[in-house]
Structure formats: C-alpha cells, structure tokens
C-alpha cells in the first residue's frame, strides 16, 4: 500500500513538471482515486498518453497501477481473512472521438499480486498472476469541442 501511495506521489510530481509543446492539445492525462469502505482501502491511478493529443482519436497508451488491503469473513474457516492486492497494467490502444463521445479499446499485459496475512492452504487466489487484458471503454465530455 505504501509503494502504491509513493508511486502516485511521484506521478503527480512528474505531472506538475511536465509541459506540452502545444497547450491547446494536451497529450498527457494523469488520474488517481481511492476506493474506501469498511472492509478495505485501495489507491489507484495511472496515465493516458496520446501523441496526437487527448482531444483527438488515435493511438493512446494507458498505464494503470492500483493496490490496497481488504478483509472478508470466511464462513468455511470461521474467521476473517486479511489480504493485500497490487496490480499494474500497460495497455496500448486506440481511441475514436466524435463530438463529445469517446470510444476506446485497450489491450496489453496485466500483473497482479495477492497476499493473505494467514496461510490458507485452499486459497487459490494468492501469489503473482500475469495475463492479457482487453478493456473497452466509452465516455462523454461535458466540454464542447470547437
């Protein structure tokens, strides 16, 4: 969790230093967020880089990083299970834009690591996992483009 938080701070510092050659066509977008509830806390963030600008379609690279801690009650074990999860993804993709609508498809490798505070022999979801990811997205912008 501390590593994810430190990485988010570094990314924000880089974003504050970064400049684009054309201020009307920014090519980088940094984002971050949290997911807090009674049984866990996660930090997430990443960036979008689009060489032609984020307000146009075309190639875009999406980098994601998230991690956190969670607790869930196990009825079979009659105890609470504590765990941590870290995940990172590098997803190249393509964006299509029209007026205020953006549709994108990203695909690439994802690495995840799950750890439990107690050793549970039957737990299948522990350790590191790697694999492909396909992430279609869509959204609208409240800002009208000229």
User: What pTM did the predictor assign?
Assistant: 0.74
At residue 128, the pLDDT reads 87
> What is the rounded average pLDDT of the residues 84-92?
95
Which stretch, 2-11, 77-86, 90-99, has highest mean pLDDT?
Answer: 90-99
- Alpha carbons within 13 A on the beta-carbon side of 126: 13
Q: Are 87 and 115 in contact (CB under 8 A)?
A: no
pLDDT averaged over the chain? 82
Query: Which structural domain range is residue 34 located in?
Result: 2-140
The CA distances from residue 33 to 2, 45, 68, in Å, are 15, 6, 12
Number of domains comprising the chain: 1
> What is the rounded average pLDDT of the residues 57-71?
94
Residue 145 domain-assigned?
no
Residue 146 domain-assigned?
no
């Amino acid at each position: 969790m501390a590593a994810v938080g430190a990485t988010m701070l570094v990314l924000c510092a880089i974003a504050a230093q970064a400049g684009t050659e054309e201020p009307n066509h920014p090519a980088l977008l940094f984002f971050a967020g949290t997911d807090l509830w009674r049984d866990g806390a996660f930090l997430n963030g990443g960036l979008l880089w689009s060489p032609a600008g984020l307000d146009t379609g075309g190639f875009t690279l999406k980098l994601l990083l998230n991690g956190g801690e969670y607790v869930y009650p196990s009825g079979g074990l009659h105890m609470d299970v504590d765990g941590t999860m870290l995940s990172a993804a590098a997803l190249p993709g393509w964006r299509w834009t029209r007026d205020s609508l953006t549709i994108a498809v990203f695909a690439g490798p994802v690495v995840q690591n799950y750890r439990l505070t107690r050793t549970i022999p039957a737990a299948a979801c522990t350790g590191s996992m790697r694999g492909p990811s396909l992430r279609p997205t869509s959204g609208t912008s409240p800002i009208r483009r000229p």
